Structure 1
Amino acid sequence: MAIPLDMTFSAAQEARLLQLNALDEIRKSALQHTKSVQNQRMKWHDHHIKDKSFKLSDWDLLYDSRYKDNLGNLQTRWLGPYEIVETFSNGAVRLSTIDHVQFKLLVNGHRLRLYHKHLSKDDFLQQFSTTKHVEIPAATVDGFVVTTPS
């Protein structure tokens, strides 16, 4: 905003005050816009973040971030399994190996994935024997039901 040169001193002061007031209004509107954008981003982030909760003695896999950018076809990104020894309120977790050697450092809970231990043959047979009714679905091949001879 240009000020004409033929203004009196009081008119120039008044024009300058109007410019400063306009600048304050622009600054306030920019702050309001920034706050609204931050609130939108915060809502989006909170909506899309997954809440993970871990219990003591759970088995988990740890994400290996070394291979984040260059994955080979057969390289795995997960290390472990590790057992959870201690959990903290901020989402950090203390892990131990299968040999019960504890990690010195804490691990962020977002780097973990729940690991389901495989059943041993004895455990499987015990679970199978405790179930009263087991139904095996009939297999279909090209729309025909395949039955096994008994």
Structure 2
Amino acid sequence: MVYGTKAMMPMEFEHKTLRTTIALDMTMSAAQQERLLQLNALDEIRKLALQHKEIIQNQCMKWHDRYIKEKTFKLGDWVLLYDSSYKDNLGKSQTHWLGPYEVIETFSNGAVRLSIIDLIKFKLLVNGHRLRLYHEPLSKDEFL
């Protein structure tokens, strides 16, 4: 017990209907009905909030997916790999692309297995979003 507060029955901590009946001079069944109506209203508000959250998430997904470009790589393609260590460094004279690499294998989740085009075959597995196609430079004969 705390000095200055009303005494409450232990049952009233779980079921607040007794306090409601005393405060509003209602019968027990009317208080229970009022409490049920409040709980039903709360459930409806929660359902509306969940529906609203789903709508907003779908809108955000559509907005985000609108800017994703689908990249498809074939076996034998040459690609450049984005060097993420330069993400915050905006130097003009530094290249942000490494490579070229050769595509060995592509996976359904967007991952790509690469091989360095050197004497030593070193295999590397990277995310396909960090790659772009490498176009071989034109020779003078092809240019003219």
TM-score range (shorter-chain normalised) is: 0.7 to 0.9
Aligned length: 122
Which of residues 27, 47, 72 in structure 2 aligns to 1:53?
Answer: 72
Q: Classify the secondary structure of the residue corresponding to 1:35.
A: helix
Q: TM-score, normalised by structure 1?
A: 0.73
| 2:31 maps to amino acid | A
Identity of aligned residues (%): 71
| 1:36 maps to amino acid | I
Residue 85 of structure 2 corresponds to 66
Using the alignment, how far apart are the partners of 1:69 and 1:9 within structure 2? 67
1:101 aligns with 2:101: no
More helix, by proportion? 2
| 1:108 maps to amino acid | N
State the Cα distance separating 1:58 from its structure 2 match: 1.1
1:7 aligns with 2:26: yes
Using the alignment, how far apart are the partners of 1:70 and 1:14 within structure 2? 65
- Contact preservation (8 Å) 1:94, 1:102: no
Using the alignment, how far apart are the partners of 1:119 and 1:101 within structure 2? 26
Unaligned runs of 5+ in 2: 1-19
Q: Classify the secondary structure of the residue corresponding to 1:61.
A: strand
Q: Deviations over 1:35-66 (max 9, x none)?
A: 11111122222222100011111111101111
| 2:34 maps to amino acid | A
Unaligned runs of 5+ in 1: 129-133, 135-150
Residue 42 of structure 2 corresponds to 23
Q: CA RMSD in A?
A: 1.9
